[in-house]
Amino acid sequence: MIIEKIVTHIDSLHKDEVEKRHMEKVYLDSADLVKRIQRVKTDHGKEIGIRLKDQRDLVAGDILFIDDTNIIMIDVLSDDLLVISPRSLKEMGTIAHQLGNRHLPAQFENEEMLVQYDYLVEDLLKQLNIPFAREERKVKQAFRHIGHSHE
């Protein structure tokens, strides 16, 4: 089976529509969400080729295939993350500036800043006394590096 487009997202389906179907999941590392062409295997052993025509990243919850009895959906494996919880705007600005200087991609969930684990960033957070925790957590989208040069 070759998938060339995302059918829909699981959140756009009514709960009854999901529950009446057999669910298979394709588990990906968050870094693989940016790959438009890849060969994957569902948690039930079905091999699938993905060759997306659209210029878009995969997102946890994307449905690759749906019919009257089955759904094949993207899920993401947990990442080793630093979950940063600044107490003030000053702390947020300080750590955002520091991480930006390192070109380290970040994501935000509620009041938390998420970055992939890095022992140097962990040391920096300790030095700056900014609250954080190291957690295994699923992210919905890939950590994307933004191309930039200091010319």
pLDDT at 146: 52
Structure tokens at 71: 């759904």
Q: Average pLDDT for residues 103-113, to the nearest whole number? A: 89
Instruction: Tell me whether residue 149 is in a domain.
Output: no
Task: Round to whole Å and give the CA distance between 100 and 115.
Answer: 11
Residue 105 has pLDDT above 70, yes or no: yes
- The total domain count for the chain is 2
Residue-range definition of the domain harbouring residue 118? 79-137
**Among residues 56, 76, 96, which one ends one of the domains?**
76
Give domain status of residue 147, yes or no: no
**Which three-class secondary structure state does DSSP give residue 62?**
strand
Tell me what pLDDT residue 145 has: 57
* pLDDT at residue 149 is higher than 70: no
Does 148 have pLDDT greater than 50? Answer: no
Verify that 19 and 38 share a domain, yes or no: yes
- CATH number, position 127: 3.30.70.790
10: in domain: yes
Q: Are 137 and 79 a contacting pair, CB within 8 Å?
A: yes
pLDDT tens-digit map of 60-100: 999 999 999 999 999 999 999 999 999 999 999 999 999 98
User: Quick one: pLDDT at residue 63?
Assistant: 95
Q: Is residue 89 part of a domain?
A: yes
Report which of 34, 35, 38 is spatially closest to residue 50, judged by C-alpha positions: 38
Q: Are residues 17 and 67 in the same domain?
A: yes
pTM over 0.85: no
